[in-house]
Amino acid sequence: MNGPLARLGLGFNTYFEKYMFLVVPVALLLGFAWSGPFGSLTGWVPWLFGYLTFVMALGCSPRQVADALRMPGTILLTLAIVHIVAPPAAYGLGALLFGHDSPFVIGFVLFAVIPLGVSSVIWVGVAGGNVPLALSLIVLDSALSPFVVPAEIAFFFGKGISFDHWKMMSDLLLIVVVPTIVGVAVNALTGGKVKTSWGPVALPLSKISFFLVVLINAAAIAPQIGAIKSDVPVLLPAVLVLVAFCYAIGYAGSAGLRNDSLTATLLYASGMRNISLGVVIGLAYFEPRAAVPVVLAILVQQPMATLMYTLVKWSQKRFGSRAQSAG
């Protein structure tokens, strides 16, 4: 697809990605302000999210996944940081501040256990990281999410909370795994040309879908925001600490790799989560307050990514670049 409309679509996509740190708060504010009309659209969220996942997977070929699998050490390190190191820290922080029985603790753990964030690919590319590896990590982690997310929630809360374990698995399969498989398959069948031919339409529509997912979910939890005003002065800084911790352990975990490209990849892979999915799960399976920490993380994650980029570039300039291979 070529011509003015293609340039318009790709230009919109570029500007959206560049100013995402501004767009996301706008979506939240609109959702909070017009919770009535937008809150009634929650039935659209799984479809919008499925489309988001499909477009993400269009950029990843089976060969890229295979190449990433040749770096099992890096993959296992990233998944260990995300799913073994981060969740206990999230649980401990939430329990310390709000008590073990607080729904906020569920939200903290939910943020830690959800799959890697699709938007991390943007930052990995900007920071000079390994984009194919980042895409492959997202695809693999998304494919594992129907098993990992319910299992980790059950591990931390056991019988303390009641949720439909099997329904969560089936929903994650439908809105994450199936679109991912279809997207990778379409990429393979078209020889990787699909992103070029469909990109001018598919990419901006995916950004609009993302905007709507954030807006609708914000509208769904808006009634809860007024009820927790007294908790926000503690809740927001706690979310900030949790997000910063997730970035920090990714950076620290990459130290032994001695490779700037892999450092940038692990930093953003471990620091950024698929928050839209976290809000969808939080609202579908737990009381609305459980989704509040995840929603607040939307306000923190992108600005923190900008700060991390500055720190990475300063570190490279101060201590020199490292290009030793690792896998």
Reported CATH class of domain 32-314: mainly alpha
Give pLDDT, residue 322. 57
Give pLDDT tens digits along the chain (327 positions). 567 777 888 888 888 877 777 787 888 889 888 888 888 888 888 888 788 878 878 877 888 778 777 888 899 999 999 999 999 999 999 999 999 889 999 999 999 999 888 778 777 877 778 878 888 888 888 888 888 988 999 899 876 666 676 787 787 788 778 888 898 899 899 888 887 788 888 889 988 988 898 888 788 877 777 667 778 888 999 999 999 999 999 999 988 877 888 888 999 999 988 887 888 888 888 888 888 898 888 778 878 887 887 877 776 676 555 554 445
Between CA 175 and CA 129 the distance in angstroms is 28
Give pLDDT, residue 285. 84
Give pLDDT, residue 282. 85
Between CA 277 and CA 195 the distance in angstroms is 23
Give pLDDT, residue 323. 54
Q: How far apart are the first and last CA of the chain?
A: 38
Q: In Å, how far are 51, 80, 200 from 55, measured between CA atoms?
A: 6, 27, 12
Between CA 232 and CA 319 the distance in angstroms is 39
Give pLDDT, residue 267. 92
Give pLDDT, residue 97. 93
Torsion of CA 221, 223, 229, 233, to 10 degrees: 10
CB 7 within 8 A of CB 15: no
Give pLDDT, residue 112. 94
Domain boundaries along the sequence of the chain:
32-314
CB 31 within 8 A of CB 218: yes
Q: Which single residue is written with the structure tokens 């996509």?
A: 13
CB 216 within 8 A of CB 31: yes
Give pLDDT, residue 309. 79
DSSP H helices in the chain: 4-18, 20-33, 35-39, 45-58, 62-69, 72-80, 86-98, 103-113, 120-126, 131-157, 165-172, 178-189, 194-227, 232-253, 260-271, 275-285, 292-319
